[in-house]
Chain A
């Protein structure tokens, strides 16, 4: 009697805990306003997490890109990169993102409900290594041109050279245009901050350039500041490929590097991009950056304003004092951002990065976010992308729910027809099974995926197995002429070993699945384990209690409807 009360109390507590775990509650969600700031809202919903295949969203796997250099300790590098990626992605303001290390050398990123694939990939992947480098004042590129031309001929600077040959006249007219409108170019290319006083020296250098006539020198025209060169857009890709080859680096003056700009300019109906020769040693890097925010400036267009730490500020001041009247290129991931401004006097802790014309505020927001999170310690490449539209996810949920409802109706039907009253007790147990399983999933913060949902529906069918085993045993005991009470006791006892052994093997399999699976399969394994545990509790403990309750009410029952 007291035993029965104790059992009922325990079931009651389990039901209450489960109901509490599943009760709709306020969940804090971070959202992003149109202007890029964040605000927290709370939504009222059942605390069950949906996987990407149900909610829609993007799954990314990033791995160390070792194509440009060997990374000694990938696992350690990934650990450091993970922090950066996490800060950046969480800065996107999407709730319930998952950013975790997978294996030893991979980062998994899951962003529910994102609509802009390219942007998310860029956010995760951009290395965001910021450097401030002084442009070359020693005419280094001009001096290296004969050697560059020779190298280009040797390498068979193929199609580009051939096409360049046909465009020689136009190239030289373009050059002439550049020379005659030298001062205009200065204004366009280097914006308002550039110093036109440098134009004279530029002019003479440019003349020297034009007389060389090699495959490379034909395509390169001096720009408006030392170390800056204009190239026609159509040759941009070919030149970029050429300058990225390691042989070229050997030909360049020591301590100098070639970088390309993100800006472009139109001159005489032609579209030009820029190439820079820079001091290899940066005067400062992004590690001293403490803040970054987007802004619109009437002069420079979209910019990212940044602030440096005190130490960085001191260093920046010291370095810029040495380079007054030089041009400073702001280089992000080896791309020169905007036109390098001239250093008029020593600069302290604040500055800005021009995004170039025609870039929207969102690009600046993303850059600011990426800069603040810091640079990635290693370059990453995308190994896997999985993108599921929200409509497909909704559709999957609806279909799975339909299938689940029909499955439950059929299972309940079978149990009631075959086992009558005992079947009814089993159905009661099954209802608690569903409740407990869902609560366990919510409690473990497990992610509900489509295969998980299918596994859950399947598990309802499998969950009655324990009941069936017990009921069949009770029938056997009754056949042997035992009383109802003894038959129930013996039935439960004899069925126990089969139930335990069969379920333990399934749990072991599920645990292996969890260990080796990823994403959806992991969710499936968790659902399976939660389901088996709940099934054992309900069939062995709950249904037994129901029987005891019934026996208690109808003392001396001679028959059992089973």
Chain B
């Protein structure tokens, strides 16, 4: 039988400081970028405004296109090539205001300006999204609520199925994934649309999945008769699940890569986030969830009465240290 990384004994957790340092640096870079760019590059679903995807019969001159849109009264509209050189998106932030103004006015004006310039039939509007400001606000709020609620529910479920320490560790690891994915979004300047929010939530689910697979092993190993420090249990569990991790990540990466390469421009931000999600999800399961679990264990050692011996009296600091006989944290 073909085996990859079978029966390894790598001390993963030893280098947690380095790993945490790297991820904090990455998130910091992302956040600085975020501040420099003045926030996330949010799609008009969130900001409100008008987006038009245009298909030209002939590749147009971008400067000319910009001039046409400017002349129609939408100075500062964002114009981007989308896929091939005959397709462009026009993004106008504002829309007509006033008591009777309808949100669709902007699109109609741009449309007629383009028809005049290029001749009707030479430019086709193949996608059009017009969103009022209130809808956008509501969406942003709903997206935030969705993420918070899903994290809350997960924590409760894990507290029920495992115990609260695992829930806390898993949720902190997931929070890390959220932050690092946001940093990734900022660095890549990806447009945050509703689809991207869906991808973000998928990343959360996937990362949790990964963490839970390892925690399941930890739970099982803790039940074994041989008392072992939690540090060692964690390391052993990560090593034991390593072949599974490699294989699953390989198949998911295969699906994600083919989406990224072949599924076209519309779904590309989704694919990028999923690809990054595989990396950060794997990383956080090992280097965030496990150290946090160790830390929580030290801070609030479990005391289940008679069944276990006196546990973790020597808990001295938040930082988990390599196994030493003085820290018999785990259960029997």
A residues apposed to B, CB below 8 Å: 53, 61, 63, 67-68, 103, 117-118, 121, 381-389, 391-392, 395-396, 399-400, 402-404, 406-407, 410-411, 414-415, 417-418, 420, 450-451, 454-455, 457-458, 460-462, 464-465, 468-469, 472, 475-476, 494, 497-498, 501-506, 508-510, 512-513, 515-521, 524-525, 528, 561-562
Contact = CB atoms under 8 A, between A and B. Distances in A.
Contacts of B99: 67-68
B247 to A, nearest CB: 5
B314 interface: no
B134 to A, nearest CB: 7
B262 A402 contact: yes
B205 A509 contact: yes
B205 A510 contact: yes
A454 B252 CA distance: 12
Given A382-B103, A464-B248, A506-B208, A388 B255 contact: no
Interface string B230-266: 0000000000110110011011111110110111101
Interface in B7-56: 53, 55
B149 interface: yes
Interface stretch (B67-75, B193-201, B319-327): B193-201
A385 B255 contact: no
21 contacts: A53-B266, A381-B102, A382-B103, A383-B134, A388-B127, A392-B53, A399-B264, A406-B258, A407-B259, A410-B258, A414-B247, A414-B251, A418-B2, A472-B244, A506-B208, A508-B157, A510-B205, A513-B150, A516-B142, A516-B143, A521-B194
B123 to A, nearest CB: 12
B132 A383 contact: yes
A385 B95 CA distance: 13
Contacts of B154: 505, 508-509
B12 to A, nearest CB: 18
B146 interface: yes
A462 B206 contact: yes
- Interface range, B side: 35 or more
Interface of B: 1-4, 53, 55, 99-100, 102-104, 107-108, 124-132, 134-135, 138-139, 142-143, 145-146, 149-150, 153-154, 157-158, 161-162, 194-195, 197-198, 201-202, 204-206, 208-209, 212-213, 216-217, 219-220, 240-241, 243-244, 247-248, 250-256, 258-259, 261-264, 266-267, 270-271, 274
B130 A386 contact: yes
Contacts of A476: 240
Is chain B's binding surface mostly helix, strand, loop or mixed?
A: helix
Given A501-B212, A515-B146, A385 B205 contact: no
Contact of A502 (B53, B108, B125, B213): B213
B276 to A, nearest CB: 14
A411 B251 contact: yes
B146 A454 contact: no
A455 B202 contact: yes
Given A67-B99, A389-B125, A468 B53 contact: no
Contact of A512 (B2, B149, B247): B149
A400 B243 CA distance: 30
A504 B197 CA distance: 20
Nearest to A399: B264
B194 to A, nearest CB: 5
A404 B263 CA distance: 8
Contacts of A454: 259, 263, 267, 270-271
B208 A403 contact: no
Is chain A's binding surface mostly helix, strand, loop or mixed?
A: helix
Nearest to B216: A498
A505 B209 contact: yes
Contacts of A386: 128-130
A68 B100 CA distance: 9
Given A505-B208, A510-B205, A516 B248 contact: no
Given A407-B258, A469-B213, A508-B157, A395 B135 contact: no
Contacts of A512: 146, 149-150, 153, 201
A382 B198 CA distance: 25
Contact of A505 (B102, B145, B158): B158
Nearest to A422: B1
A118 B128 CA distance: 13
A458 B216 contact: no
Q: Which of A68, A396, A516 has the most CB of B within 10 A?
A: A516
A395 B99 CA distance: 39
A385 B103 contact: yes
B258 A505 contact: no
B132 to A, nearest CB: 4
Given A392-B53, A498-B216, A501-B158, 6 more contacts: A382-B103, A384-B130, A465-B252, A502-B216, A505-B208, A518-B194
Nearest to A413: B254
Contact of B255 (A457, A504, A562): A457
Given A497-B216, A509-B154, A458 B255 contact: yes
